[in-house]
A and B are shown apart, each in its own frame.
Chain A
Amino acid sequence: MMKGKKKFIAGTAAVAEAAMLANVDVISAYPIRPYTGLMVDLSKKVADGKLDAEFVHADSEHSQLSIVHGASASGARTMTGSAGVGVTYAFETYSPISGGRCPVQMVVADRTLDPPGDFGSEHSDVLCARDQGWIMGWAETPQEAFDNTLIYYRLGEDQRVSLPQFNCQDGYFVSHIPGEVVVPEKSQVAEFLPPYKLAKPLDPRKPYGHGPQIFSDQGPALQLQRAIVMNQAKEIIPEVLSDFNKVFGRKYDSYIENYNPNDADVCLFVNGAHSQTVRYAIANLKAQGVNVALCRIRFVRPWATEEIAEVLSQYKAVGVVETNNSFGVAGQAGVFTPEVAATLYSLPENKRPMLMSFMAGLSGEVIRLNDIYFMAKKLVQAADRKKIEKPVYWIGFEEN
């Protein structure tokens, strides 16, 4: 049931609302555009007595992450956040946090890495940390940013998982452009999200040592354990989403949103906010008799290999909209192309679609309807000719 109050707020403000309903205990803040609004909202809620939390203004992103690491290990529910070079400044802390199994939540309103100083959205910043053992995914709208906050706490704090989460949204597009957000009632949140309980917190009444050096032959077993836990997170996602949909009356797919799946021969693979424009473009194209599908992933980590393969196997050609850079990577595009290629490789050859990449939405560039029409055209052409003429297109630099 869609209960609650409707608000017209942007993504960072939406997460702040969710954090308040999650009764978060410790918040660590450091300013960097475009995520700062989240912390401005939270500091005000704390100052006004609406949220009983420790609001710690840190000296850096590295300290931000360290503060929530210590707090989470003590048994507190935590929130922090950053963007762009702030995300990379804190890099050292990511693996200790996930390895120590502290389910902190970090909100990222993404931003292009320097140089040059560029405030615009690009997914490259936090994607750098995709191998650090964190749950990671993007919201398309402020509403989804709100919802993901609760979903990620529930998933990350589940004792079968106990992993930190990157709760990401496209900088400016989602973080700054308000949308309608239904803020549910406290009782609904309480029904969905149990209080945070860490199995072995730092507590002088029952002492544990957190993180001694290990024997070298325990290393591989530790890494296997971390891999298994990330897999476990994947298994639990449908359970969490189904509960969420039940309590809040939403209709989220677990891993993948597959829009206009039937009839289409080609599919655009998208992560993040631009999927919204893609959806309109697809509708417009459909009216003209061109059928294109959308596959939007809700989680980058854990990557839903089998599910993505199954969805993409319906199509003759798949175009990955990269929205990030990975210079010199296999396929010469971004980080998603090799991941999708590896995913498709599990399919039998006759079910394996052709794959191409579109470098778009870089350094904050808007992806316009026309850009998507261009991508659709290239995909349809490839499907018709059963051949890819060019594996990577840099949108805005291509001749029609």
Chain B
Amino acid sequence: MADSKTTSQVKEVTIWASGVIQDAEGRDTVNCIAAAASKEGKYVQAFDNYIDLPDRVNVPVRKYARISSEEIQEKYLYENEHPNMVVVVEPSLIKGFNILRGMLKGGMLVVNTGKEPEELLKFLPNKELLAAVATIDASKVAEALVDDFMDIEGAAAGVLGRGIGAALAGAVAKVSGYFGLESLKEVVQNTDAAEKGFNNVKIKIL
């Protein structure tokens, strides 16, 4: 019998965001990542964590992107079981939850904060899983948080990368190398934010 671990070919990116306030941006971030990787001919998925919804103000919500050079065989899953990369849109969440849950050793973390990467390590009891930690002040470089009534679970995505999602996806491109900045700029509206996200991200190799 085939081992279902063959899906480990898939690169998993998990986004943690704060409910309601960042729900649309969290969803946008995975959509940007998937769209950019798709531009490069990768097989991709982007979806919400179903049980985190309906979201509530401040409740943690998770969004997932999956990127693979081969066809993704197990598409109907609830979550990323072993994220290679975690992106935290609301930095306080790292104190409240095991955001690295399921990560195998050698993973990466990107946090949306103006702080230095080193400052975050004290809040991560399982930091030994990480090969790199990075920070980007996406809220600052994008200067906008898109808050759209119509951007809810199950509805078609509108224009991609209007706000901080573009900046975060830029940082992900730089830290992970899963897709290039140029592909990202082709899919997002706020190309300036994508570029700043890519260029301004501070990376600490562990």
Chain A residues with Cβ under 8 A from B78's Cβ? 216
- With an 8 A cutoff between CB atoms, is B1 at the interface? no
Interface residues as binary, A197-218 with B (CB distance below 8 Å gives 1, 0 otherwise)? 0000000000000000001100
When C-beta atoms are compared, the residue in chain A nearest to B51 turns out to be: A216
Chain B residues with Cβ under 8 A from A215's Cβ? 51
How far is A215 from B78 in the complex, measured between Cα atoms in Å?
A: 13
How far is A215 from B51 in the complex, measured between Cα atoms in Å?
A: 9
Report the interface size class on chain A.
under 10
Chain A residues with Cβ under 8 A from B50's Cβ? 216
Chain B residues with Cβ under 8 A from A216's Cβ? 50-51, 78
**Nearest CB of A to B160, in Å:** 29
**Nearest CB of A to B53, in Å:** 12
Chain A residues with Cβ under 8 A from B51's Cβ? 215-216
When C-beta atoms are compared, the residue in chain A nearest to B50 turns out to be: A216
How far is A362 from B78 in the complex, measured between Cα atoms in Å?
A: 46
Give the contacts of B15-68 with A (CB-CB under 8 A).
50-51
Interface residues as binary, A214-243 with B (CB distance below 8 Å gives 1, 0 otherwise)? 011000000000000000000000000000
When C-beta atoms are compared, the residue in chain A nearest to B78 turns out to be: A216
**Nearest CB of B to A251, in Å:** 54
Interface residues as binary, B78-110 with A (CB distance below 8 Å gives 1, 0 otherwise)? 100000000000000000000000000000000
How far is A24 from B181 in the complex, measured between Cα atoms in Å?
A: 73
When C-beta atoms are compared, the residue in chain B nearest to A216 turns out to be: B51
How far is A216 from B51 in the complex, measured between Cα atoms in Å?
A: 8
How far is A150 from B132 in the complex, measured between Cα atoms in Å?
A: 71
When C-beta atoms are compared, the residue in chain B nearest to A215 turns out to be: B51
**Nearest CB of B to A219, in Å:** 11
How far is A215 from B52 in the complex, measured between Cα atoms in Å?
A: 11
When C-beta atoms are compared, the residue in chain B nearest to A213 turns out to be: B51
**Nearest CB of A to B50, in Å:** 8
How far is A265 from B166 in the complex, measured between Cα atoms in Å?
A: 77
How far is A215 from B50 in the complex, measured between Cα atoms in Å?
A: 12
**Nearest CB of B to A368, in Å:** 54
Give the contacts of A306-336 with B (CB-CB under 8 A).
none
How far is A317 from B29 in the complex, measured between Cα atoms in Å?
A: 65
How far is A135 from B47 in the complex, measured between Cα atoms in Å?
A: 41
**Nearest CB of B to A41, in Å:** 47
How far is A309 from B52 in the complex, measured between Cα atoms in Å?
A: 47
How far is A216 from B50 in the complex, measured between Cα atoms in Å?
A: 10
**Nearest CB of A to B8, in Å:** 22
How far is A216 from B78 in the complex, measured between Cα atoms in Å?
A: 10
How far is A35 from B78 in the complex, measured between Cα atoms in Å?
A: 47
**Nearest CB of A to B47, in Å:** 15
**Nearest CB of A to B181, in Å:** 37
**Nearest CB of B to A186, in Å:** 53
How far is A124 from B7 in the complex, measured between Cα atoms in Å?
A: 47
**Nearest CB of A to B49, in Å:** 11
How far is A6 from B50 in the complex, measured between Cα atoms in Å?
A: 61
**Nearest CB of A to B52, in Å:** 11
**Nearest CB of A to B133, in Å:** 31
How far is A379 from B50 in the complex, measured between Cα atoms in Å?
A: 54
How far is A230 from B51 in the complex, measured between Cα atoms in Å?
A: 29
How far is A216 from B53 in the complex, measured between Cα atoms in Å?
A: 13
How far is A383 from B146 in the complex, measured between Cα atoms in Å?
A: 74
How far is A217 from B51 in the complex, measured between Cα atoms in Å?
A: 11
Binding site for A on B (CB under 8 A): 50-51, 78
4 contacts between A and B (CB under 8 A): A215-B51, A216-B50, A216-B51, A216-B78
Closest A-B pairs by Cβ, 4 of them: A216-B51, A216-B78, A216-B50, A215-B51
